[in-house]
């Protein structure tokens, strides 16, 4: 058997994350968002010949309508990539973007490619949470399968009840997410990873005709400077009559895209490129659908065993905050040091554009490790229908 070679991240860029359905990127087509980050990520290294890109793998949780028709290939062409560059769209719901990065890395590690792009895109403004034509199989409503049909909010309520996560703890976690995100934005911590998105605005005139101008969107939209514990405590539960999960301690629906450029060691030397990070490993695991939020509890030990590492070696952990309830349960069950979790805030404040989130969080992680000069980081999340995913990266 061939021994695996290393896969390195040499660039990672993302759009700012906009609020759905009426935020700053709500009118931007998802294929345009993706095309933008594809152009930007390869522009980081102008010596790269785009014809050398072996494939573009893109995660998307709702690959239909404006983000359908194999959005990976469509966006690659919109980005001006040569016809020779192929593209494929993959769907593992909330882990789609991370899965795309992992599969891109694996192609390099197996010696089947030298230059790959792993990316993610989602516009929940253009394609809603349930998609354009929800049509569940009737069999999922039987007793043995009914957990599949649970809405994400109900699964969070189940986790809160089963792992005894209080409403107060959830609201405090949400408040801290906003505070960390605000501090990171004000300090400019996201500047290196965000490629400002040029949005064309048109305005009709009463006398006839239309004028247009371009504005540059360069800041994540979700972090709230006006929230506090008292305001969060006043919000009603939205998924269960006597529940604890509210709009305030839940991730935001969002729009955004990110792209990660990976290379083999051979190509690093040929192009004289210094890498940002090394891909270390990735794992997925399944859990009961009705408590899908606990997925990282199974995926994290799996990737640690696979890579021969310890959780204590992780300096920075990007734990996607689908809900405060499941985040707190995961932190408790895995005994994670809270100071390592989402140093710049998470999805409650920064948003969760489903299929893009894994690539966005990977982008934030590798830039964050570079900025702080820390060594190891992890991206992990729960996944709809009852799964977890986790990937490990090392700063170079």
- Residues with Cβ within 8 Å of 134's Cβ and at least 6 positions away in sequence, in order, are none
Roughly how many angstroms between the first and final C-alpha of the chain, as a whole number?
27
Distance CA 97, CA 121 (A): 8
What does the DSSP 8-state code read for residue 388?
A: E
Q: Are 260 and 119 in contact (CB under 8 A)?
A: yes
Distance CA 218, CA 374 (A): 26
Measure CA 119 to chain center. Answer: 9
3-state secondary structure 258-272: EEEEEEEHHHHHHHC
- Residues with Cβ within 8 Å of 360's Cβ and at least 6 positions away in sequence, in order, are 14, 17, 97, 120, 256, 258, 353
Q: Which residues are catalytic?
A: 94, 352, 382
Other beta carbons within 10 Å of 245? 28
């Amino acid at each position: 058997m061939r021994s695996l070679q290393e896969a390195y991240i040499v660039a990672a860029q993302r759009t700012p994350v906009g609020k759905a359905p009426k935020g700053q990127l709500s009118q931007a087509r998802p294929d345009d968002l993706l095309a933008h980050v594809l152009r930007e990520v390869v522009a980081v290294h102008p010596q790269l010949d785009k014809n050398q890109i072996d494939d573009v793998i893109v995660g998307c949780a709702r690959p239909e309508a404006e983000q359908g028709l194999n959005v990976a290939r469509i966006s690659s062409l919109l980005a001006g990539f040569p016809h020779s560059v192929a593209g494929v769209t993959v769907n593992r719901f909330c882990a789609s973007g991370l899965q795309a990065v992992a599969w891109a890395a694996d192609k390099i590690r197996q010696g089947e490619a030298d230059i790959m792009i792993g990316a993610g895109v989602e516009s929940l403004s253009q394609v809603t949470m349930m998609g354009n034509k929800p049509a569940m199989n009737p069999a999922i409503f039987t007793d043995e399968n009914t957990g599949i049909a649970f809405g994400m909010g109900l699964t969070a309520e189940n986790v809160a009840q089963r792992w005894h996560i209080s409403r107060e703890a959830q609201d405090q976690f949400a408040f801290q997410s906003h505070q960390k995100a605000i501090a990171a934005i004000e300090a400019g911590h996201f500047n290196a990873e965000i490629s400002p998105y040029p949005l064309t605005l048109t305005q009709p005139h009463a006398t006839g005709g239309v004028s247009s101008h371009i504005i540059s969107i360069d800041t994540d939209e979700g972090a709230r400077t006006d929230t506090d514990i008292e305001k969060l405590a006043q919000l009603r539960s939205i998924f269960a009559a006597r529940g604890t999960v509210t709009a305030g301690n839940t991730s935001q629906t969002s729009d955004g895209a990110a792209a990660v450029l990976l290379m083999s060691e051979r190509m690093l030397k040929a192009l004289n490129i210094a890498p940002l990070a090394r891909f270390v490993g990735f794992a997925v695991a399944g859990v009961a659908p009705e408590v899908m939020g606990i997925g990282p509890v199974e995926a994290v030990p799996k990737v640690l065993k696979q890579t021969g590492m310890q959780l204590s070696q992780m300096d920075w952990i990007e734990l996607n905050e689908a809900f405060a309830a499941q985040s707190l349960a995961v932190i408790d069950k895995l005994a994670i040091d809270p100071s390592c979790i989402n140093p710049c805030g998470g999805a409650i404040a920064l948003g969760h554009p489903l299929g893009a989130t894994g690539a966005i969080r990977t982008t934030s992680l590798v830039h964050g490790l570079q900025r702080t000069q820390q060594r190891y980081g992890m991206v992990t999340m729960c996944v709809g229908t009852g799964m977890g995913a986790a990937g490990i990266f090392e700063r170079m």
